[in-house]
Amino acid sequence: MQGEENFDFVVIGAGSSGCVLANRLSEDGKSRVALLEAGPKDTNPWIHVPIGYGKTMWNDRLNWRFHTEPEPTMGDRRIYWPRGRVLGGCSSINGLIVIRGQQEDYDGWAAQGATGWGFEDVLPYFRKLEDNPAFADDPLHGTDGPVRVSSIPRKHELIEVIKEAGRKLGVPETADFNGARQEGVGYYQLTTRNGFRMSAAKAYLSPAKGRANLSILTDTQARRVLFENGRAVGVEVSVGGRVKVIRARRGVVLSAGAVQSPHLLMLSGIGPAEHLKANGIGVHVDSPGVGGNLQDHLQLRLLYRCTKPITTNDALNSLFGRLKMGLEYLLFRGGPLAIGINQGGLFTRVLPESKTPDIQFHIGTLSADMAGGKVHDYSGFTLSVCQLRPESKGWVRLGSGDPLAPPKITANYLAADTDRRCAVAAMKFARKLAATEPLKSYVAEEKLPGPGVTDDEGLLAFAREYGATIFHPAGTCRMGPDDDRDAVVDPRLRVRGVDGLWVVDCSVMPSLVSGNTNIPAIMIGEKAADMIREDAMNNRNGRDNAPNQINDGRTQQWLGKRELQVAS
């Protein structure tokens, strides 16, 4: 063990939530904050070009490149799970899509005992993080936040015909999936600014890097949290082949994500007691919920050959097309390179019991064997569909007691009957969409699942053989009330059984939100920063669940409008 450094706060993980915390906890100019990131700085140029997602998805310097354990519910396949390993975390390698989820998601959290996390409580933080000039007059949106949200600047012929087909099936057109109603078909909003990716690192770390009280430590992997007298006092890390200690006077925050936050808790002696003992780790807190409750969106990708050479495949497979795309981006920061993989979205209901949208489409104007892979040599497009609120639960466990060994992940997709019914219904809806004019005229052939798959059993078999993560794991350190033994953290995100330790990332979600998780993770970081400052500055070690709330006039304006709508 060589050397020690001392800070007020140590934040583990420079992802979507951790970057927020590093900025907010250091903005007083006094609190010394260390942000630890196992990966490198975000200097790789493919990070910043939106379509570079296809490159970063497989780069082991920027990506943990996990695989699940063999999945019995998926034909014993080991499913590839990319996770960000770079400043910005997954926000530096994701698909850039801006989705908050549904109001009912957050009200559901509050109903489960996550006091202070209802939609009225989190809306001010969504607004606080956002710089969305296209919706400046909408009280649901913000214009002063660090995260630029951009609308796709030009229409694509394929998305336009999909919108028309959707309308014929009763799905309304929408310009804003984050508006008063999520249901609809239209273009996604993206985390981009002037043709570049707006990662959490770009939004929160770039303006804070000059602060003398903030240290951003890359290539520094956390091994375990250290405790003294029941309080987190530091982190043991590996850096440059050495092991050292970074001490924290006020506390430690785990923001390592839904895979590695529970992994680090278990390496630190907080988790299911028998599992810790079996891996040679002393039990600091017997917390049976650590690593459980794993939820993820399973994507099912239907691939089509297009009748017209208008897809991104056509551009990428042509020298002239590649030159045109490159010049358009270099000269104007526009074109396909500035947009990313998926341009269009569709949210609707396919199960009779669903009261709100239960499936989401990621509509890509290209096709490939796997997300981020090499495009096909034909004109192709993708209708990727996922169930929004899966009931199947998986788990994260230790691979061994070695802190540098990868965790074991079991996603347990399609274990629940509801999930299997939804998967089949979702693919049937996708096929119905493709068979509806005007989209029908653009479909030359369904490549996958293919015309040979005609019944429910065949569709479910396709889902088991080809289904993949859409990169939204959550729930493995879920928050909940004090009488819930499986709740790892309280509603103020404090780890139960110890002091001075918080978890702040998607792992605290009691249930997965209905959509992409990057923006909710940033929201969680914003809200947590306020709570951590309150708790730490007041030296509050009690277990009260006083909610943290901020009120802005625009939130109250929206709530007033909603009440009028309900009354009418």
Secondary structure in 3-state letters for 363-418? EECCCECCCCCCECCCCEEEEEEEECCCCCCEEEECCCCCCCCCCEEECCCCCCHH
**Residue that terminates a domain, selected from 425, 442, 466:** 466
- Look at strands 33-36 and 285-286 and give their pairing: unpaired
Q: Is residue 118 part of a domain?
A: no
Q: What is the mean pLDDT of residues 113-126?
A: 98
Average pLDDT score, the chain: 94
- CATH number, domain with residue 310: 3.30.410.40
Which residue, 357, 363, 359, 358, is CA-closest to 344? Answer: 363
**How does residue 562 score in pLDDT terms, banded at 50, 70 and 90?**
very low
For 535-557, b/e burial (b = at least 16 CB within 10 A) is: bbeeeeeeeebeebeeeeebbee
Q: Is residue 146 part of a domain?
A: no
Q: Is residue 98 part of a domain?
A: yes
SS3 state of residue 504: coil
DSSP string across 35-81: EE-SS--S--HHHHSGGGHHHHTT-TTTB--EEPPPBGGGTTBPPEE
Cα-Cα-Cα-Cα torsion 133, 138, 142, 144, nearest 10 degrees, comes to 50
Inform me whether the pLDDT recorded for 1 exceeds 50: no
Which residue, 52, 50, 356, is CA-closest to 188? Answer: 50
Name residue 97's beta-bridge partners. Answer: 190
In which element (H, E) is residue 306 found? strand 298-306
Which residue, 259, 284, 267, is CA-closest to 396? Answer: 259
* No. of helices (H) and no. of strands (E), the chain: 15, 26
Written as one letter, the residue type at 374 is: K
Inform me whether the pLDDT recorded for 370 exceeds 90: no
- 289 and 263: one domain? yes
pLDDT given for residue 3 in this prediction: 61
Q: Say how many domains are in the chain.
A: 2
pLDDT given for residue 512 in this prediction: 99
pLDDT tens for 314-353 read 999 999 989 998 999 998 898 889 988 899 999 999 999 9
The CA distance from 235 to 217, in Å, is: 13
- Indicate left, alpha or beta for 484 from its phi (over 0: left) and psi (-120 to 50: alpha): beta
Evaluate whether 272 touches 362 at the Cβ level (below 8 Å): no
Evaluate whether 481 touches 113 at the Cβ level (below 8 Å): yes
Backbone angles phi and psi of 197, in degrees to 5: -65, 135
- 103 and 25: one domain? yes
Backbone angles phi and psi of 138, in degrees to 5: -100, 120
- 74 and 7: one domain? yes
- CATH number, domain with residue 539: 3.50.50.60
pLDDT tens for 33-59 read 999 999 999 999 999 999 998 889 989
Evaluate whether 478 touches 508 at the Cβ level (below 8 Å): yes
Name residue 489's beta-bridge partners. Answer: 479, 495
- 347 and 285: one domain? no
Written as one letter, the residue type at 184 is: G
C-alpha distances in Å from residue 337, one per residue of 31, 57, 201, 340, 377: 40, 16, 20, 6, 19
Q: Which residues contact 564 (CB under 8 A, 6 or more apart)?
A: none
Q: Report the predicted TM-score, pTM, of the whole model to 2 decimal places.
A: 0.95
Q: Is residue 37 part of a domain?
A: yes
The CA distance from 357 to 378, in Å, is: 33
pLDDT tens for 103-114 read 999 999 999 999
- 285 and 215: one domain? yes
HSE-CB of 356 using CA atoms within 13 angstroms: 15
Q: Is residue 557 part of a domain?
A: no
- 437 and 511: one domain? no
Evaluate whether 454 touches 462 at the Cβ level (below 8 Å): no
Could you identify the residue written with the tokens 């630890």?
A: 36
The DSSP output letter for 494 is B
Q: Is residue 136 part of a domain?
A: no
Inform me whether the pLDDT recorded for 418 exceeds 60: yes
Inform me whether the pLDDT recorded for 305 exceeds 80: yes
Q: Which domain holds residue 420?
A: 153-187+298-387+416-466
- 219 and 237: one domain? yes
Q: Which residues contact 148 (CB under 8 A, 6 or more apart)?
A: 131, 132, 191, 192, 193, 198, 203
- 218 and 326: one domain? no
Q: Is residue 131 part of a domain?
A: no
- 372 and 399: one domain? no
> Rg of the chain's alpha carbons, rounded to an integer?
23
Q: Is residue 453 part of a domain?
A: yes
Backbone angles phi and psi of 563, in degrees to 5: -65, -40
Q: What is the mean pLDDT of residues 190-197?
A: 96
Helix ranges (H only) for 496-538 are 518-537
Residues with catalytic annotation?
472
- 171 and 225: one domain? no
pLDDT tens for 134-144 read 999 999 999 99
- 282 and 347: one domain? no
Work out whether the CA dihedral 553, 554, 557, 562 comes out positive or negative: negative
Structure-token pair, residue 150 = 């951009």
- 173 and 226: one domain? no
pLDDT tens for 68-105 read 999 999 999 999 999 999 999 999 999 999 999 999 99
